[in-house]
Amino acid sequence: MKMNRRNFFQTLGITSLTLAIGKSGKAITNKKTNVDFKGILIDATRCVGCQSCEIACAEVNNLPEPTDSPEVGITRNLTEFQRCVVNAYDTSKGEIYVKKQCMHCNQPACDAACLTQAMNKTVEGPVIWRGDKCMGCRYCMVSCPFDIPKFEYHSANPKIQKCDMCFSKIKEGGVPACVENCPAEAIIFGTRRELLNEARKRIVENPDTYYNHIYGESEAGGTCVLYLSPVPFEELGFKTNLQNSSYPELSKGFLYSVPTIFVLWPALLLGLREATKDEPVKTIENE
Amino acid sequence: MNNLDHTMVKENYAGKTWKFILQEFKPKGKFLTPFNIISLPIMLLGLVLIVIRFWKGLGSITNLTQEVPWGLWIGFDVVTGVAFAGGAYVITFMVYILNIKKYQSIVRVTVLNGFLAYVFYAGALLLDLGRPWNVINPIIGNNFGTSSVLFLVAWHFLLYMIAQLIEFSPAIAEWLGKRRAHKILSGMTVAAVIFGITLSTLHQSGLGALYLMAKEKIHPLWYSEFIPVMFFVSSIFAGLSMVIFEGSISYKVFSDQISDKSHASHNSIIVGLTKICAVTMFAYFFLQVLVFVHAQNWHLLNTPMGYWYLVEIFGFIVLPMLLFILSYKNNSTFLAKTAAVLTMVGIIINRLNVTVIGFKWDAVSHYYPSWMEIAVTFAVIFTEIWVFRWIINRMPVLRDSPSWAKNHN
């Protein structure tokens, strides 16, 4: 291909754009998994369904107090007014209560999905939502395997509501409101490592009381919220079909291919264009 | 260029151009056509609904739920609309990269169609944003969510719109009679085409990649790690079917605009496109079979969703593929148009299956779009057609370029 001035600038332009845009394909860093996240451990064998956590949560986050209470056969869902709910289940070991809220994944799908970094996995562990960045696209809701983020559909200035593990309290050395207000010590706060050890200890010491699984140890690549249960987790309405690797892994391959295509395609296309040009039959004369 | 001419016009240049543009805004031709009578009330209704939506929130006019946060506006307007706009990159690839001159006469109209589709369907995306005032965050500032597929798609939409505008801009320059601008803009076409094809490859597949993280939420017959490849391959024949469909309508509606030469080549172009459609549809069908076998989903076929899957595959891929083959064997544009319409219905079904119908298919309550969401969608489509018509009637899109502009192409 003959490189004249104009061609040169064309190529230069394409190359520089490639470099500029190719950056967008940056893959998800694993840096965040090496820190010791804070988390909470919820022990369903201890929960009495008193809703103290729900009431405390509503108070801290300026949300309306819950008007209904856990009842067997009725699944109460998280809503844009409730960041955590307690549900009652009729199980093989009798009536069991369990609290539901954001799982604060180690590598959250919502954080990877967010194009404005409004959903943010903090180094402390909680996944928080930042309203000044969010554009309300709800891709976090599409991506979250636990269906946690809730959107205020009936507001002209809608917010995403989800548990932030009382991030402002944690930063000042405090504990989340639900942990603080649990009269049954069913919820405890600590580093994820401590909580995993505590959970294992409880299972080993009381093998008859606990079902031998810590929900959140490996689900969705590991979460900062961990659960213990007396019965298999599907009896408590947990999603047990989730993968054990993190969800951002699923789109990693695609994102990695982006810079490759951005380098290869323009070169290939320019080459094809030159190769298919109708040139005058000069070459034959030269032979 | 004539220098004398140039200096004479220069003084009053800007003023004259504006006057000309203002004059062009006046409607041409008959106003009370059946299309206008149907489309105007719907556009006005859409406008009212959009005002309500921004005043009272998304929930006031949409049926979106906490479980299905993306409905018709994303699944149809954006995901399906962009697939239909795929014709632009395929046609520019053939004309500017493979140097196939045969399709030169439909480049402008296809690019215009693609450009308007992006403007309006990406515009529909703005309606769906809860906090649209923050839409600039991923574009300026330091809020780059670079690990997000949506970040990539948003940037690509923006850049591709610019690339398509550059590809189309010589027509605007011809309309305004700007010779110098025409020369510069025409020189940028190839760079814009190459950049545009690269962007299209990535965001056509990127629209599929958006759903990769929703692994357990999408019915297994429609979810696979190959969604991006599927979306890309199907955008080729989706786009070309749209070109055939739109072309045959424009051919009738704007017949006064089309030159004799283009009239003569119309059938040959359609037959050529049907071949590409047939071949890519075969490749797509083959990929679908591979993915299906690979996922070992045999047991799912004998369920209602399984029957629906078979309808999509055989009724809207295999059948139109066969019709495309028949149409070029028999040189029949009627069969080609029928196949194109079937293919387009199939693409709508496929995109909606991934984004809406198969999304949370096992949930207790299902999402159905409200009549207001549908009305806004129609309002968006009609507005696009109005703008399309306005441009066709003024700029040299279907008709030949003025003689002074011909040397450059």
**Domain ranges, ordered by start, for chain B:** 42-408
Length reported for chain A: 287
Contacts of A132 in chain B (CB under 8 A): 134
Place of tokens 């398509």: B164
Q: Is the pLDDT of residue A223 over 60?
A: yes
A250 touches B at CB < 8 Å:
yes
pLDDT value of position B97: 94
DSSP 8-state symbol, A239: -
pLDDT value of position B145: 84
Out of B58, B98, B212, the one facing A272 most closely (by C-beta) is B98
**B117 or B140: whose pLDDT is higher?**
B117
Q: What would the two tokens of residue B56 be? A: 């009272």
Contacts of B370 in chain A (CB under 8 A): none
Sketch out chain A's domains with CATH numbers.
35-104+163-236 (3.30.70.20)
A5 touches B at CB < 8 Å:
no
Q: What is the CA radius of gyration of chain B?
A: 22
Contact B138 A258 (CB under 8 A): no
Identify the three-state secondary structure at position B402.
coil
pLDDT band at B2 (very low <50, low <70, confident <90, very high): very low
Q: Is the pLDDT of residue B181 over 50?
A: yes
Which residue of chain B comes nearest to A259, CA vs CA? B202
pLDDT band at B286 (very low <50, low <70, confident <90, very high): very high
- Chain B 203-262, CB below 8 Å of chain A: which residues? 205-206, 209-217, 225, 228
pLDDT value of position A266: 94
Contact A136 B132 (CB under 8 A): yes
pLDDT value of position B405: 78
Place of tokens 């000309």: B20
How close, in Å, is residue B77 to chain A by CA atoms? 15
Contact B130 A158 (CB under 8 A): yes
Average pLDDT over residues B128-142: 86
Q: Is the pLDDT of residue A26 over 50?
A: no
Q: Is the pLDDT of residue A16 over 70?
A: no
B192 touches A at CB < 8 Å:
no
**A34 or B307: whose pLDDT is higher?**
B307
Which residue of chain A comes nearest to B184, CA vs CA? A6
Mean pLDDT score of chain B: 89
Average pLDDT over residues A87-91: 94
C-alpha B25, offset from chain centre: 25
Identity of residue A99 = K
Q: What would the two tokens of residue B199 be? A: 């962007």
Contact A114 B64 (CB under 8 A): no
Contact A239 B216 (CB under 8 A): yes
Instruction: Flag the least confident range among B18-32, B157-171, B179-193, B350-364.
Output: B18-32
Contact B134 A147 (CB under 8 A): no
- Chain A 58-97, CB below 8 Å of chain B: which residues? 77-80
Sign of CA dihedral B305, B310, B315, B317: positive
Mutate to test the interface with B, among A4, A19, A23, A143 (most CBs of B within 10 A): A143
CB proximity list for B169: less than 8 A, separation 6 or greater? B181, B185, B188
User: A100 - beta bridge partners?
Assistant: A85
B193 φ, ψ (degrees, to nearest 5):
-65, -45
The alpha-helical segments, DSSP class H, found in B177-313 are 179-187, 189-209, 227-253, 260-295, 304-310
Q: Is the pLDDT of residue B76 over 50?
A: yes
- pLDDT tens digits, B224-245: 999 999 999 999 999 999 999 9
Contact A254 B98 (CB under 8 A): no
pLDDT band at B31 (very low <50, low <70, confident <90, very high): confident
Q: Are strands A94-100 and A119-121 parallel, antiparallel or unpaired?
A: unpaired
- pLDDT tens digits, A167-197: 999 999 999 999 999 999 999 999 999 999 9
The domain made up of B42-408 is a member of CATH 3.40.250.10 = no
Place of tokens 């909580």: A195
Contacts of B195 in chain A (CB under 8 A): 14, 17, 266
CB proximity list for B13: less than 8 A, separation 6 or greater? none
pLDDT band at A281 (very low <50, low <70, confident <90, very high): low
Out of A143, A250, A265, the one facing B198 most closely (by C-beta) is A265
Average pLDDT over residues A196-225: 95
pLDDT value of position B1: 43
Contacts of A261 in chain B (CB under 8 A): 198, 201-202
Closest CA to B317 of B237, B243, B245: B237
User: B196 - beta bridge partners?
Assistant: none
Average pLDDT over residues A254-282: 87
Dihedral-angle region of residue B98 (phi above 0 means left; psi in -120 to 50 means alpha; beta otherwise): alpha
Identify the three-state secondary structure at position B365.
coil
pLDDT value of position A139: 95
A263 touches B at CB < 8 Å:
no
Contacts of B155 in chain A (CB under 8 A): 21, 24
Place of tokens 């009212």: B48
Which residue of chain B comes nearest to A8, CA vs CA? B191
Out of A135, A253, A266, the one facing B131 most closely (by C-beta) is A135
Report the 10 Å Cβ neighbour count for B165: 16
User: A188 - beta bridge partners?
Assistant: A41
Please say whether the beta carbons of B72 and B127 come within 8 A.
no
